[in-house]
Structure 1
Amino acid sequence: MDLEDAGSLAQVRFLIRDRDGKYPARINEILGDAGIATILTGVRVPV
């Protein structure tokens, strides 16, 4: 099951992610086009 299968049951508005370099800037553009805001965690926040 993914978000498309869930339909109106799942509405993603935010993605909270770290500042790792494996996430290119293009990811923010793609998520923004889908209406999802990217929120970065603070610098050196422990898990």
Structure 2
Amino acid sequence: WGGYGRHYWRYGDDAHAILRSRYARGEITREQFEQMMGDLEQHR
């Protein structure tokens, strides 16, 4: 968990959002997206 003031988040949630954004912008392929998401799930 991380936080700033009254707002708290989990690192993994932020990482997932970044990956979704990168995939949506076409910066990474579907295969890269799925691999990276799988890696994040393993490290939760």
Q: Structure 1 length as normaliser, TM-score?
A: 0.32
Q: Which has the higher contact order (CA 8 A, sep 6+)?
A: 1
Q: TM-score, with normalisation over the residues of structure 2?
A: 0.32
Higher radius of gyration, 1 or 2: 1
Task: Kindly indicate which of the two structures has a greater share of residues assigned to helix.
Answer: 2
